[in-house]
Amino acid sequence: MTSAPGQPVALVTGGGRGIGREIVLALAREGCNIAVAARSSDQVTATAETARGLGVQAMALALDVTDAEMITRVVAAVGTRLGPVDVLVNNAGIAESAPFAKTDPAFWDRHLRVNATGPYLLTRAVLPAMLERRWGRVINIASLAGLYGAPYVAAYTASKHALVGLTKALATEVSGKGVTVNAICPGFAATDIVWNSARNIAARTGKSFEEAVEAMAHLNPGRRLIDPAEVAAVAAKLIHDDATNGETIVLDGTQ
């Protein structure tokens, strides 16, 4: 294994808001140069700007993780401007809920494509160069839904189980080659995903928005929402950790 690059280059998908934004800023504080990629160009631009304020190089990129050609272009653009990707954070994700009978194949497919196939395509695009340099980190933002089942989220749960499976299998394949592949599995976290679900629950059940948020927080074993900064802190720690590989790191609010 070679030692970590002085200033690793990190590519964070879905880095414009929520957990991804916190990860971008945490990795910038660790001294990484950062590529921030998602569909909303205003959000990735703003996050990259904030990261630059922390003294690192940062670029904003438009990316839909379901688009294989776009992934190829983005990875090439990062290589030209910042250098090869040392740290890939597969954070971009969607989470919609519906009773199973009300879902259709497009609903299923959307979750699998964004939450599982996207990370596969991105990892496939950056892994060979990591292995060549004998240093790399792949950090997958999965979910407690990658480990357990819950009602009304079959497609999301299947997609996150797929991401955990990818993590575990690939970790065994790269073991001893300087690259680690790990998954972080948070419970409900304080981001748009929860705010949007709470709005839907409130509209459907007559609960207030605050009651709906509280109910979701209560489903976490620690009875509280996860702070995106907690997820980011784990991601930042993994950069310096050569030994942890193939793990599913749970953040369920009991910590």
Long-range pairs for 63-66: beta carbons < 8 A, 24 or more residues apart: 63/13, 63/37, 63/38, 63/39, 63/92, 64/39, 65/13, 65/14, 65/92, 65/114, 65/118, 65/119, 65/121, 65/122, 66/113, 66/114, 66/117, 66/118
Choose, by CB under 6 A, the member of 95, 127, 153, 212 that binds ligand NDP: 95
Residue 75 CB, shortest distance to ligand NDP, in Å, is: 14
Q: Catalytic: 152?
A: no
Alpha-carbon distance 161 to 152, whole Å?
15
Query: In angstroms, what CA-CA distances link 218 with 28, 188, 197, 213, 223?
Result: 32, 9, 14, 9, 4
Residue 2 CB, shortest distance to ligand NDP, in Å, is: 30
**Residue for token digits 């921030």?**
36
Which x/- pattern over 196-225 shows residues binding ligand NDP (rule: CB under 6 A)? ------------------------------
Residues 221 and 253: beta-carbon distance below 8 Å: yes
**Rule CB under 6 A: is residue 72 a binding residue for ligand NDP?**
no
Region binding ligand NDP by CB under 6 A among candidate stretches 17-25, 97-105, 121-129, 199-207: 17-25
Which x/- pattern over 153-192 shows residues binding ligand NDP (rule: CB under 6 A)? ---------------------------------x-xx-xx
**Rule CB under 6 A: is residue 94 a binding residue for ligand NDP?**
yes
Residue 133 CB, shortest distance to ligand NDP, in Å, is: 26
Which of the residues 120, 148, 152, 156 is marked catalytic? 156
**Residue for token digits 């797929």?**
162
**Rule CB under 6 A: is residue 60 a binding residue for ligand NDP?**
no
Q: Give me the helices (H) in 33-149, please.
A: 41-52, 68-81, 105-112, 118-133
Structure tokens at 234: 């784990």
Region binding ligand NDP by CB under 6 A among candidate stretches 27-35, 36-44, 49-57, 241-249: 36-44
Choose between 57 and 66: whose C-beta lies nearer to ligand NDP.
66
**Rule CB under 6 A: is residue 47 a binding residue for ligand NDP?**
no
Alpha-carbon distance 166 to 163, whole Å?
5
**Rule CB under 6 A: is residue 39 a binding residue for ligand NDP?**
yes
**Rule CB under 6 A: is residue 119 a binding residue for ligand NDP?**
no
Question: Which positions are catalytic?
Answer: 156
Q: Which residues bind ligand NDP (CB under 6 A)?
A: 13-14, 16-20, 38-40, 43, 63-66, 91-95, 114, 141, 143, 186, 188-189, 191-194
